[in-house]
Chain A
Amino acid sequence: KYMWLHKEHLYVAFLDIKVAWLGVNISLFVVYFLTFDRGEKYFYTRQILGSALPWARASAKCLNFNSMLILLPVCRNLLSFLRGSCWCCRRTMRKQLDHNLTFHKLVAYMIALHSAVHIIAHLLNFEWYNRAKQATDGDLASTLSHLHEDDGLWLNPIHSNTTTPLYVAFTTIPGITGVIITLCFILMVTSSMEFIRRNYFEVFWYTHHLFVIYFLGLVIHGIAGLVRGQTDKSLEESNPKLCAGQYTEWAQGNSTHCKVPEFQGLPAESWKWVLAPIILYAFERALRIWRSCQKVVVVKAIMHPSNVLELQLYKKGFNMEVGQYVFLNCPSIYYLEWHPFTLTSAPEEKLFSVHIRAAGDWTEALIDNFKQPNPVMPRIEVDGPFGTASEDVFQYEVAMLVGAGIGVTPFASVLKSIWYKFQHGDQGLQTKTIYFYWICRETGAFAWFRDLLASLEQEMDESGRAGMLSYHLYLTGWNSSMVGHAAVNFDRSTDMVTGLRQKTFFGRPMWSNEFSAVAAAHPRALAKTLQKYCHQHSSLDPRNVQFYFNKENF
C-alpha cells in the first residue's frame, strides 16, 4: 500500500460534512420560508410586509443553525478526543477533523450571507410597517396597523405615526442588538482576512473575542417578540381567508362572524440553539487554562541559523504521537495568545521539542528573548498535543513525505521516531521505504535538520538498511556561484552544501519524475499541485497504487 496521496476518500469524507451542512441550510431555509410565506397564522402579517417576512424568518433560522455550529470546530480538545476515540471510521473521520478551521470559515461565510439577507429583509419590514402606520387611506395594511393600540395584541410594532425606521431600530431591543452584533461580526470578519491574520495576528486574535458580545446579543435579540402572528384562538374566531375581505366591517366591530384578529409575538429561540455550544466552548477554554497551569520546564533552548529557535521542554505526563502539534503560550510576551507549533521530537524521547522560526511579533519576541547574552527562561504554557495527518505513517509500507521550508517539521518527528524504532527493534514499524523531499529557499535553514539526517545516515549504514530512507533536498534560492561551486565539487562523496551523502539539488523538484513541476515557495500551491498529481497517478482500481494525500497548513 502507498501512503499519503488519496484521490477519493479524503474528498468524499470532507465533502460528506460540507454536503450535509449545506443540505441542512437549504432545508431549513425552504421549510421556514414556506411556513411564513404560506402559513395562515401570518396572513395578516404578510398583508403589511409582503415576502420580506419569509425572507427574514428563513434567514434567521439559518443564522441560528450556523451560530450553533461555528463554535464547535474551534473546540480543539473536544475534536482531539473525538479523533482519538473514533475507532470505527478512523481514517476518514479523522481527516474530516483536520479541516476544522476550514469548516469554521465556511460557517462564518454562511453567517455573513444570511445576515445580509436577514438585514435587507428587515430594512424592508421596518419601512413597510412605518408606511402602513402612517397611511391614511384606510386599506387593510393601514387598518391592521391601528389595531390593539392599548393592549398587547397588536400586529404592527410601530406604535407612533410620526417616527422613522431609524428611530424605531434604536429604541427596540432587536434593533439595537441587531446593529451591535452585526457590527461585531463585521469587525471580526475584516480582522480575520488572511492578510491581517498572517501578518498582524494580535489584531485578529483580540478582535475575534467580540464573539462573546455576538452571542450575548444573539440570545437577547428575539426576546421582544416583534415578529407577530395571529393567535390560535383568534384564527378560530376570525379566519383570515374568510374575513380579510371584510376588514372594514370587523374593524368597526360590525361583523358577526369575524372578530377583530389578535396577535402575539414569536418567543425567542436563539438560546435553544447556541446554549450547548457555548457551554462546550466555555469548557474548552477552561480546559486550556487548566492545562496551561501545569508546569512546563524549558530544559534547553538552542539558536539555530536562519533565526530558528529550538526549545526542549518537559511536562509531567505529556504523551505525544508522531507529527502532532501543540499550542504554546508565553504570558510574558502576550498574555492571551496561543500559537501552534509542530512537535519535532519523537514520542520515544523524554523531552518534547519544537523548532520556532521568526514569522511575526510573537515568534520574534520569543526569539529575541533567547538572543540576549543571559537569557531569562520565560514561563511557557503548553496545550495539546493535537493530532494531525502524520499519525498513520508507520502503517504504510511506503511513505512519500514532502515538506516545504519550515513545513518539514512534522517529518523531523517521523524520521527521529524511525531512528528510535530501529534502535529498539519495534515490530509495529511496517514502513519499509521512505521517500523524503524537502524544498527550501536557503541553505541556513538546513543546519538543524542536517544533523538529524547525518545521524540517520550513519545509523542506517550501521544497521545495514542503507536503502530505506531516500531523501531529496531541493534548494530553490540558488545563484550561479553556488552552481559553479557544485560543479567543481561534483566528484566529492559528500554534498558541499550539507555535508550529507545525498546531493543537494538546485532549483525545484522535477515532479515529472516524481509527480510534476511545482511552485515550492507557496505552501498552498504546493498542496494543490501535489493533490492534482495524486489524482493523476492514483489508479482507478482500488487494488492498484493509491496515493493518499494528507496536508497540514498552519
Chain B
Amino acid sequence: MGGIEWAMWANEQALASGLILVTGGIVAVAGQFKNWQFAAYSIAAGVFICLLEYPRGKRKKGSTMERCGQKCFTTVVKAFGPLTRNYYVRAFLHICLAVPAAFLLATILGTVCLAIASGIYLLVSRVLLR
C-alpha cells in the first residue's frame, strides 16, 4: 500500500467535485432557489477547481496518461509554482472553497466530495512532510 500515489485519486475526486458543484449551482441559480447566491459562488468555485485539477500530475513511477488536451492547462497551473505544486496548500484551498457551498442543499454534495478530496490531499502531504 505504501507505493500508492493517493494524490492521483484525490485528483479524480476533486475533478468530480468541481463538476458536481457546477451542476448543483446551475440548478439552484436556474430555479432561483432561496439563497441562490451561494449557488452562483458554487458555479465559479466549481469551474476554478475543474481548471486546477484537470491536468493530471506526473506519476512517480511508470508512465502517466495525460488527459486529453491538458497541456495548456498545465502551463497555467505550473505558473503558480509552489501554490499549486504543494498538496498541503491544495488540501487547504479545497476545504476553504468547499465551505460556502455547504449552505445550500443543491451544492452540499459538491462540498462533501470536495472535502473528501481535500482529506486525501492532506493525507498525502502529511506523508511527504514526514
Binding site for B on A (CB under 8 A): 116, 119-120, 123-124, 126-127, 130-131, 164-166, 169, 179, 182-183, 186-187, 189-191, 193, 195-196, 199-200, 202-203, 361
Contacts and interface: CB of A to CB of B under 8 A. Distances in A.
Given A186-B13, A199-B62, 17 more contacts: A123-B105, A123-B106, A124-B31, A131-B34, A166-B104, A166-B105, A183-B112, A186-B20, A186-B109, A186-B113, A193-B12, A199-B5, A199-B59, A200-B4, A200-B8, A203-B6, A361-B1
A116 B23 contact: yes
A454 to B, nearest CB: 33
B8 A199 contact: yes
A195 B67 CA distance: 10
A183 B105 contact: no
Nearest to A194: B65
Contact of A200 (B5, B16, B31): B5
Contact of B113 (A126, A183, A195, A361): A183
**Which size bracket describes the interface of B in this complex?**
20 to 34
A98 to B, nearest CB: 25
B9 A196 contact: yes
Contacts of A196: 8-9, 12
B85 to A, nearest CB: 20
17 contacts: A116-B23, A123-B27, A123-B33, A166-B105, A179-B112, A182-B109, A183-B113, A186-B13, A186-B109, A186-B113, A191-B12, A195-B8, A195-B56, A196-B8, A199-B59, A199-B62, A200-B8
Contacts of A169: 105, 108
A183 B3 contact: no
A183 B108 CA distance: 11
Nearest to B103: A166
A127 B33 contact: yes
Interface of B: 1, 3-6, 8-9, 12-13, 16, 20, 23-24, 27-28, 31, 33-34, 56, 59, 62, 65, 103-106, 108-109, 112-113, 116
Nearest to B32: A127
Nearest to A166: B105
Contacts of A126: 105
Contacts of A191: 9, 12
Contacts of B33: 123, 127, 165
A182 B106 CA distance: 13
B116 A187 contact: yes
A120 B27 contact: yes
A427 to B, nearest CB: 49
